[in-house]
Amino acid sequence: MSPNLDDLSRQLDSPDVKDRKLALAALREVSAHDAFPLDLLRKYHEIVCSKDKLSS
């Protein structure tokens, strides 16, 4: 069963780091084609880039 994209979108917007990490892990099961319309890829990119900037 694939993850609910609306739930993933909400989790990616969560202020809770745990929620965002769980959503990122669940995104592995979502194809880029399915994620793109809900803007999940943009959110994923923002989270990953902000994490990289913090660790620099």
Average pLDDT over residues 8-32: 88
Structural domain boundaries enclosing 9: 5-55
Tokens 């739930």, residue? 7
- Helix intervals (H) in 1-56: 5-12, 17-26, 32-35, 40-55
User: How many folded domains does the chain comprise?
Assistant: 1
* pTM, rounded to two decimals: 0.60
Average pLDDT over residues 11-34: 88
For the stretch 35-51, pLDDT in tens is 776 566 677 777 777 76
Beta carbons within 8 Å of 46's beta carbon, 6+ residues apart: none
Residue type present at position 43: K
Instruction: Tell me the C-alpha distance between 11 and 7, whole Å.
Output: 6
Q: What is the pLDDT of residue 13?
A: 86
pLDDT band for position 15 (50/70/90)?
A: very high
